[in-house]
Amino acid sequence: MAVNLNLDGVYLPSFNKQIKLNIFSKRKNFLAIGSAHNAREINIKQNQGCKLIFLAPIFKINKKKNFLGINKFNQLSFNKKINFIALGGINSSNIKKINLLNCYGFAGISWIKKNGLRKLRPFLNCLNIQ
């Protein structure tokens, strides 16, 4: 549908496990983004042709009792040709731990929504962002 609407990309959620995608008629700069929670879902997203994967949850959150942590995230993202975005549980107490992750970026939706970008900027200065 994204190809028919001439869009720049598509987001494939973790519950979308369909491998057959119409990739032959896509645009040159078409970007597929996906989300995953474990190694099996990462392999599915690679087969779907995703160039960027949101891997979640990294830190402990109230909604789920399971989370990846720093070591598990690095194990899952090591030796992959895909860029990973850290997602889930990022707040002011653990934002400095993001330097330890093998990730392309991070997202902290509820924390940023609650505190605003004004409180996020001081933490961005202490990160090694290129």
Q: Strand locations in the chain, DSSP E? A: 9-12, 31-36, 52-55, 83-87, 105-107
Answer whether residue 3 is part of any domain.
no
Residue 95 belongs to a domain: yes
Q: Report yes or no on 78 lying in a domain.
A: yes
Q: Residue 107: which CATH number? A: 3.20.20.70
Residue 118 domain-assigned (yes or no): yes
Query: How far is Cα 121 from Cα 26, in angstroms, rounded to an integer?
Result: 37
> Which pLDDT value is given to residue 23?
57
Range of the structural domain that residue 36 is part of:
9-126
Q: Does some domain include residue 2?
A: no
Residue 59, pLDDT above cutoff 50:
yes
Within-domain flag for 1: no
Number of domains in the chain: 1
Burial 101-125 (b: 16+ CB within 10 A, else e): bebeebebeebeeeeeeeeeeebee
C-beta neighbour count of 66 within 10 angstroms: 10
State the pLDDT at residue 130. 45
**C-beta of residue 37 within 8 angstroms of C-beta of residue 16:** no
pLDDT in tens, 1-32: 766 777 788 888 888 887 766 555 566 778 88
Please name which of 3, 1, 77 lies closest in space to residue 43, comparing C-alpha atoms.
Answer: 77
* pLDDT tens-digit map of 73-121: 788 888 778 888 888 777 777 777 877 888 887 777 676 677 766 666 6
Residue 4 lies in a domain: no
Q: Is residue 102 part of a domain?
A: yes
